[in-house]
Chains A and B, each alone.
Chain A
């Protein structure tokens, strides 16, 4: 119970930390809404040209735009803040302090990232979606059960996203400067998550491959659950499988990395 309370406290502080910057949050919501507007008109034109492209009708495509604008901070498609900090701690050696704390490194950062994600879901997710729903006819479900299923899928998406970013951050143990890897990881996530274009619109084999990769658990999976296009249970299975694999990889890398740590004197 003690560790449970500790992780809850870490998560709460992660939430509060991001909740502090209210102007920045408002500015971010504004930017998401502007980009949502541009993308919504573009998708309208695409779906006018090819109705039912990728199995979506026009209002489902619009819903995809606005939900993904609301979620991109929550599931940290571009990266979520904690990697930068962890990379910096690895570079400076402060990570040694983290390692001799009586808390697991991965668990600590996961808890704090979940807190951050919850804030971003509320602070950055709701307003763009409402704005989009006021301007465009969105295909939002009426059943609270579908919404609950969606929120659970978002949560699992955050865990998969965290698991990937944790491995990316730990690469700094070998590379010291993790900026290049972090940038590469961000680009991959933008391309493979559905942020760039819904994955069901990708042509042929490419489309099938990206749907199997872990990044599709971040955005495509939750949105498809919300739209009723995907069954929640198999979607959860897919997300949990990737979460287990990637968290496991994170543990392996972590134990390999901690054996490398040499704390400088002083």
Chain B
């Protein structure tokens, strides 16, 4: 574990130094990243220019959901966003180089081409979250503040697990790296809207099967004092850390299984 983090830190630092060699390019791509993710929120604002509420939620409440999931996803994307390149490495055989190096493969794959520009996404999420907190006019209690912090940390961990599990799947699927996008970027898009918008089966799916609902829906609805559409006990809003831990454990198992099944291209 320590060894892995150390390797991750070293490789990441190398990529950051290399990024900083082209500062103008770094600023431009970070701004581009910021703008690209910002478009999602622009879409929501455009919707709210024509409607007053979406699924019974007003703009600040949707912004709160958006801010929580975008920030949590932003952290996971910054830390592990390069993992979707694994399929390419499996296909062209360059994964072999990583196998012979004396550092954990997961750390090497995760830090590969570390993109500091992904900070743009986090900044964008934090800004929307700030706007939501200011305009929501909530009675903040210590438990609600704690809930926001808990949600950001656990949410990031849940998305990290999705990234790792998705990468493990690419050992088998190789060319199918886009499937991972449906669960990472798609999951993020899903979570920025209120659960009342979606069909019950879909909400059940992302609560019990792929527990994305624990990233922001359950914690945010607790903070907003709104009922979760599935009649779940109230204490479940405090479950995200447990769910995150379980997800990470499962993702690690999947990663080990994937890595063990790896056969080099041989070409």
Contacts and interface: CB of A to CB of B under 8 A. Distances in A.
Interface of A: 21-24, 26-28, 30-31, 34-35, 37-38, 41-42, 44-46, 49-50, 53-54, 177, 179-180, 183-184, 187, 190-191, 196-197, 201-203
A26 B174 CA distance: 12
A34 B175 contact: no
B154 to A, nearest CB: 22
Contacts, number: 95
B175 A27 contact: yes
B186 A45 contact: no
Most chain B beta-carbon neighbours within 10 Å: one of A27, A30, A41, A187: A27
B39 A28 contact: no
B35 A177 contact: no
A23 B176 contact: yes
B178 A46 contact: no
Given A45-B54, A49-B54, A34 B182 contact: yes
Contact of A28 (B28, B55, B178): B178
A35 B54 contact: no
Contact of B51 (A31, A50, A180): A50
B176 A196 contact: no
B47 interface: yes
Nearest to B173: A23
Task: Name A's interface SS.
Answer: helix
A23 B174 CA distance: 8
B175 A190 contact: no
A172 B42 CA distance: 29
Given A38-B190, A197-B47, 6 more contacts: A23-B176, A35-B186, A38-B193, A41-B202, A46-B47, A196-B39
Contacts of A38: 186, 189-190, 193, 198
A137 B196 CA distance: 20
A187 B39 contact: yes
Given A184-B32, A190-B39, A31 B179 contact: yes
Interface in B130-153: none
Interface string B36-62: 100100110011011111110000000
Contacts of B29: 179-180, 183
| 4 interchain residue pairs of minimum CB distance | A23-B175, A27-B176, A34-B182, A27-B178
A202 B28 CA distance: 28
